[in-house]
């Protein structure tokens, strides 16, 4: 009886933590995807962003949501950097021009 | 079918210079295709150049030789108009041969 | 007080100068081409203009010697022969590639890419070839290698020695395409933050890892190329896409508008330099 109670408590305490992790991953991944889509609109996606997104998905499929969230956040940062690059280069390309 | 061997031999005094370009995939057997399947090893194992019936250059090749291999060498002897015979055999037993006159 | 004023004046002067330098935004292809060619001929005074089409081989003596030897028996020979055969083989409907091109497709490579005023876009040789196929009921072929490389190798070969002759018609859309190609060339991209200019304007003749960089002047004149790195032939499309991935940028689709405009710009500023294709590269 006590063992049953113990296990019930254990499951009850771990279940909410797991569920929150997956939701956190979904949020982080969605944010990364949105940024990468914007980079795609600007025709300036990075291969490393795509690799981070793929890594995040793979980790999530294996149940490692901590890793999946970390990869998603990295992907989002990379995507945002590529957006900044595309936007600032709209003017800065002139610095490279042969004159 | 067109020959896989392009060969040119030029006489230079008492030496003959020979160049050959051979069309062959020279697959190492270590590379996978787009579906993830190994592309089987397919490479020239022996390449022979003959002048007046005598071998002047014999190469025992393996998978380390690149695709469409190019060979250049010189040998003593040979005169303008003489025939050079080039032949190869690969690991699948396929072969090809061609002849060219020394220029 | 005076120092502040002079500082403000200096800043104002700089910003005005910068504005006027940037204000010249109306495309001037003729001026661009002159400046572009002068930059490279000044940088490499020992080279004749036509030497630039040999890329890295004109940048390094040892490479040049090896290349001269190899040109006696060039690695693109097989693709060239295959291309000649392919070009004359009729489609299922009996027509041939010759029916799609001026002068039967012979000796015309130097006119590509051109700006099609009816469609309002840049047409490259590769695009024209696939359009020819589709117009005659054949499936399009990959832009990056194999058959496309063989066909363009043959067409380039029939134009060997002819000067690049890209035209920009008096059409604002053509000027816009040219300008977009120019901007693409100088825009930094990919995680490595390189533009085409980073390697081919700032560092021609220098090494990137083990490779010697080609100058941007005449860089497309040798296309398509047999590249030792690829152990095979590749087209302009192949080079643009692989270059993007090398700097960690996701490549665009071959023959995307950006790539066609880039090819238009790069070819135009190399006008006058001879076609040397098909070529071989390390």
What number of other Cβ atoms are within 10 A of residue A81's Cβ? 17
The pLDDT of residue C10: 52
How confident is the model over C145-167, as a mean pLDDT?
A: 97
So where are chain B's domains? 5-101
**Which architecture, in CATH terms, is B5-101?**
Sandwich (2.60)
Inter-chain residue contact B19 with C231, CB threshold 8 Å: no
What's the rounded Cα separation, in Å, for the pair C180 and C25? 12
Inter-chain residue contact B2 with C232, CB threshold 8 Å: no
Average pLDDT, chain C: 92
pLDDT in tens, B35-94: 999 999 999 999 999 999 999 999 999 999 999 999 999 999 999 999 999 999 999 999
Phi, psi of B99 (to 5 degrees): -125, 155
Nearest-CA neighbor of B39 among B58, B26, B20, B52? B26
pLDDT band at C99 (very low <50, low <70, confident <90, very high): very high
pLDDT in tens, C181-222: 999 999 999 999 999 999 999 999 999 999 999 999 999 999
Nearest-CA neighbor of C255 among C135, C148, C106? C148
Nearest-CA neighbor of C280 among C137, C70, C22, C123? C70
What's the rounded Cα separation, in Å, for the pair C257 and C181? 9
Does the CB of B67 have a partner CB in chain C at under 8 Å?
yes
Distance from CA of C52 to the nearest CA of B (A): 26
What's the rounded Cα separation, in Å, for the pair C185 and C179? 10
Nearest CA in chain B to C74: B21
Task: Give me C181's structure tokens.
Answer: 């190609």
With a CB cutoff of 8 Å and minimum separation 6, the contacts of B11 are B78, B79, B80, B102, B103
Instruction: Say whether the A–B interface has 3 or more Cβ pairs within 8 Å.
Output: no
* Class of the domain covering C28-282: mainly alpha
Q: Given C39, C187, C248, which is nearest A46 (Cβ)? A: C248
Inter-chain residue contact B6 with C231, CB threshold 8 Å: no
The pLDDT of residue C26: 83
Q: Given C193, C201, C258, which is nearest A98 (Cβ)? A: C201
Task: Give me B12's structure tokens.
Answer: 């230079």
What's the rounded Cα separation, in Å, for the pair A56 and A45? 17
So where are chain C's domains? 28-282
Does the CB of C20 have a partner CB in chain B at under 8 Å?
no
């Amino acid at each position: 009886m006590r063992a049953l109670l113990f296990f019930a408590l254990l499951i009850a305490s771990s279940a909410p933590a797991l569920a929150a992790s997956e939701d956190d991953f979904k949020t982080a991944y969605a944010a990364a995807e949105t940024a990468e889509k914007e980079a795609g609109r600007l025709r300036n996606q990075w291969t490393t962003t795509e690799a981070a997104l793929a890594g995040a998905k793979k980790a999530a499929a294996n149940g490692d949501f901590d890793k999946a969230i970390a990869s998603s956040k990295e992907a989002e940062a990379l995507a945002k950097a590529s957006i900044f690059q595309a936007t600032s280069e709209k003017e800065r390309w002139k610095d490279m021009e042969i004159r | 079918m067109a020959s896989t061997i392009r060969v040119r031999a030029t006489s230079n005094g008492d030496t003959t210079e020979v160049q050959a370009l051979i069309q062959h995939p020279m697959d190492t057997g270590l590379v996978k295709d787009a579906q993830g399947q190994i592309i089987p090893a397919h490479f020239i194992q022996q390449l022979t150049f003959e002048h007046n019936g005598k071998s002047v250059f014999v190469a025992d090749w393996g998978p380390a030789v690149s695709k469409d291999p190019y060979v250049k060498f010189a040998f003593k002897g040979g005169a303008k108009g003489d025939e050079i015979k080039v032949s190869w055999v690969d690991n699948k037993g396929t072969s090809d041969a061609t002849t060219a006159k020394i220029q | 007080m005076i120092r502040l004023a002079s500082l403000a004046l200096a800043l104002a002067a700089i910003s005005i100068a910068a504005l006027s330098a940037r204000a010249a935004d109306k495309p001037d292809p003729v001026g661009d081409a002159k400046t572009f060619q002068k930059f490279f001929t000044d940088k490499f005074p020992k080279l004749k203009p036509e030497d630039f089409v040999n890329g890295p081989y004109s940048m390094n003596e040892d490479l040049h010697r090896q290349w001269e030897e190899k040109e006696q028996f060039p690695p693109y020979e097989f693709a060239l022969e295959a291309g000649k055969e392919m070009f004359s083989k009729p489609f299922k409907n009996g027509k041939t590639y010759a029916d799609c091109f001026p002068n039967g497709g012979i000796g015309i490579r130097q006119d590509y890419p051109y700006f099609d005023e009816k469609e309002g876009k840049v047409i490259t040789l590769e695009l024209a070839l696939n359009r020819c196929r589709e117009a005659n009921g054949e499936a399009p072929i990959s832009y990056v290698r194999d058959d496309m490389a063989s066909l363009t190798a043959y067409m380039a070969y029939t134009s060997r020695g002819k000067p690049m002759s890209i035209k920009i018609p008096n059409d604002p859309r053509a000027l816009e395409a040219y300008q977009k190609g120019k901007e693409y060339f100088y825009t930094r991209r990919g995680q490595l933050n390189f533009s085409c200019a980073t390697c081919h304007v700032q560092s021609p003749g220098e090494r990137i890892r083990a490779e010697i960089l080609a100058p941007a002047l005449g860089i497309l004149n040798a296309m398509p190329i047999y590249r030792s790195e690829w152990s095979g032939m590749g087209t302009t499309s192949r080079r643009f896409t692989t270059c993007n991935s090398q700097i960690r940028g996701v490549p665009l689709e071959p023959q995307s508008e950006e790539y066609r405009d880039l090819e238009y710009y790069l070819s135009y500023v190399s006008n006058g330099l001879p076609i040397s294709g098909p070529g071989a590269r390390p």
